[in-house]
Amino acid sequence: MKATQLLHNLGQSLWLDNITRDLLNTGTLKRYIDELSVTGLTSNPTIFDHAIKNSSSYDPAIRKKLDEGESGEKLFFELALEDLTRAADLFRPVFDRTNGVDGWVSLEVSPLLAHDTASTLAAAKSLHARAGRPNLLIKIPGTKEGLPAIEESIFAGVPINVTLLFSREHYIAAAEAFLRGIERRIDAGLQPNIGSVASVFVSRWDAAVAGKVPTALNNRLGIAIAKRTYKAYRDLLGSPRWERIYNAGARPQRLLWASTGTKDPKAPDVLYIKALAAPFTVNTMPEGTLKALADHGDLSEIMSADGGDCEAVLDQFAAAGIDIDDLAARLQDDGAKSFVSSWKELMEVIASKSATLAKAG
């Protein structure tokens, strides 16, 4: 049995952190669903940037949209929605079979709206409505500025993937925004089952401290942070506040591991996948990591609900001079800036492609 199937049987959802028109047109995504236990998919501006820049598959659609007078951001979202609605339809049987627990795809709002709650909410509602698919999550960063938009989107009935979380504290803040939105729906007599995941980025921790800690601590910080966050997640799931919303018909916001591709060439290619094996979570992985996992026939032990040795490991990093709270804030801030940079690069690719195709007639 493939390790992907073993992980799925454990109770963890495997999502692909990629989307391209070629993946859809060649049947590769369908094969991943059928053969590698993939039950969902995430996207981001960088993924679309590379997909559009490095392929001619989008050219006919871009030409058509140019003829219709579309350009820039509007043109991009049309392309993205075409891809993601096709992917959502492929995952719809999973979504239906699991009663909406699994089978999701994700689309990110423009990061340029990050400091504008009203505009982020409007964009989230618009994109979800335009997709016309119940299994589309809208990605909103879980920054201090993004949290009000997350709460308002959940209250408005828009399924949300809270992205750009790095620490236990970031996760708890996102979970509380989700809870407030659900509780407001319950108080208003609205249906409370709104899908959501909270995405915690893992490997960037280790990249940030590479060369700054003793060799024995290499590639251990991200996993320790994940274990600490998983304990908080499990504690929340069993809390009276969460149990009340379950009793009212809501579903939990699942914890999702993001940035799980190994950055260190000296480390195992499935380092984070094996370490983050945990029931009732999602692991969204790059295509190369997914294939590597399928080729490895075993898994390590399941993550402990009590966090295991995470606090002892984090104490070692503190002793090595790493300020976890400060680094978490910096990683989230850098991540938000990176999102904006990626978005601008994507818009440049759209403009460049559009100009080239228009010139070619």
Give all domains of the chain, ordered by start, each with its CATH number: 3-360 (3.20.20.70)
Neighbouring C-beta atoms of residue 265, cutoff 10 Å: 6
Predicted local confidence at residue 228, as pLDDT: 98
For the chain, helix (H) and strand (E) counts, in that order, are 16, 8
Distance CA 68, CA 80 (A): 17
Burial class (CB in 10 A: 0-12, 13-18, 19+), 331: buried
Neighbouring C-beta atoms of residue 145, cutoff 10 Å: 15
So which residues are the catalytic ones?
139
Predicted local confidence at residue 83, as pLDDT: 98
The structure tokens listed for 249 are 């018909």
- The CA-based angle 268-230-284, given to 5 degrees, is 50
Whole-prediction pTM? 0.96
Predicted local confidence at residue 297, as pLDDT: 64
Residues of the chain with pLDDT under 50: none
- CB-based contacts of 258, cutoff 8 Å, min separation 6: 17, 42, 163, 199, 200, 201, 202, 284
